[in-house]
Amino acid sequence: MEIKGLVAVITGGASGIGESIAREMAAEGAKVVIGDLDQVAVNRVVTEITEAGGQAAGVLANVTDENDMAKLMQAAVAAFGAINVVVANAGVIRDGVMINTDKETGKVRKVMPVEDFRFVLDVNLVGAFLTFREGARRMVDNRWPGVLIAVSSINKTGQVGQINYSSTKVAVALWPKILAGEFMMKGIHNIRVVSISPGYVATPILAGMDQNALAAITRDVHIQRLVQPSEIAAAVKFAVENDALDATDIEVTGGLCYAKSRAK
């Protein structure tokens, strides 16, 4: 698909990876609609894109709320007349081990609160589901061609201390195969489904972490640095443009390895 003229809806589009995707798509001529919980950040990104000559709109939206996701998609249709690309990017972390033991007694002294487990599932999994569902229903009803893109993570392979986060990311990485199969069953051939699995990306949160811990992370990356948000955006652009990319997951990790022995 040629990106110019497409309408792209991106959740979590006011910062980090989502912002980079929004800027890349707009620079290529797409009409961008971002949904986020930070109104100030939404306004900033929309303003900066439009001042650079792009077309953009923003909506204050919570991905876990059905009405908000419907409102976001309707805003895209109202502003630009279609939906062609839906990027389910919004995500959160609440890291921690399932059970924590006392060093002296070996007995359990703390457990992961169920609220922390559910919160991550609600945003990363339920939120992505609602984003896809509300975008896809309008694309199908109006016969708008396009692609659904989920942002997964290399930690879909499993990560200690992220039982909640990794569970959501392995789930959305499966969706391209499931949904492409469902679309095939229903005779829907003009909507593709792809997921992108980033490695460690130089977002403000990661870049601001303890520098020794950051150095330990990059030592296990083949290219010896963090992945840039623009490189994830470039992968999204590639997924949109290449019509043969469907029912699959693309890893963009810089060659993240286990203890310098094999690719993760």
- Identity of residue 160: V
Residue 255 pLDDT grade (very low, low, confident, very high; cuts 50, 70, 90) = very high
- Residue 206 makes CB contacts below 8 A (sequence gap 6+) with 200, 214, 226
Q: Is the pLDDT of residue 17 over 70?
A: yes
Q: Is the pLDDT of residue 209 over 80?
A: no
First to last CA, the chain: 31
Residue with tokens 């890291």: 95
pLDDT tens readout for residues 48-58: 999 999 999 99
| Domain topology for 7-263 | Rossmann fold (3.40.50)
113-121: average pLDDT: 98
When the pLDDT of each residue in the chain is averaged and rounded to a whole number, the result is 96
Angle (nearest 5°) at CA 69 between 79 and 161: 130
Phi, psi of 149 (to 5 degrees): -125, 120
Are 221 and 201 in contact by the 8 Å Cβ rule? The answer is no
165 catalytic? Reply is yes
Question: Could you give the CA distance from residue 56 to residue 26 in angstroms, rounded to a whole number?
Answer: 7
Residue 264: what pLDDT? 73
Q: Which of 80, 129, 144, 165 is catalytic?
A: 165
Question: Could you give the CA distance from residue 149 to residue 176 in angstroms, rounded to a whole number?
Answer: 8
Residue 261: what pLDDT? 60
Give the containing element (helix H, strand E) for 31. Answer: strand 31-36
Contacts 24+ apart (CB under 8 A), 241-246: 241/1, 241/2, 241/3, 243/1, 243/192, 245/192, 245/194, 246/176, 246/180, 246/192, 246/193, 246/194
Are 96 and 116 in contact by the 8 Å Cβ rule? The answer is yes
- Can you read off the two tokens belonging to residue 231? 């490189």
Are 87 and 21 in contact by the 8 Å Cβ rule? The answer is yes
- Residue 56 makes CB contacts below 8 A (sequence gap 6+) with 22, 26, 31, 32, 33, 34, 45, 46, 49, 50
- Can you read off the two tokens belonging to residue 183? 């679309």
Which residue, 217, 227, 213, is CA-closest to 258?
Answer: 217
Which residue, 13, 15, 14, is CA-closest to 202?
Answer: 15
Residue 206 pLDDT grade (very low, low, confident, very high; cuts 50, 70, 90) = confident
pLDDT tens readout for residues 69-88: 999 999 999 999 999 999 99
Angle at which helices 66-80 and 127-141 cross, to 10°? 40
pLDDT tens readout for residues 160-178: 999 999 999 999 999 999 9
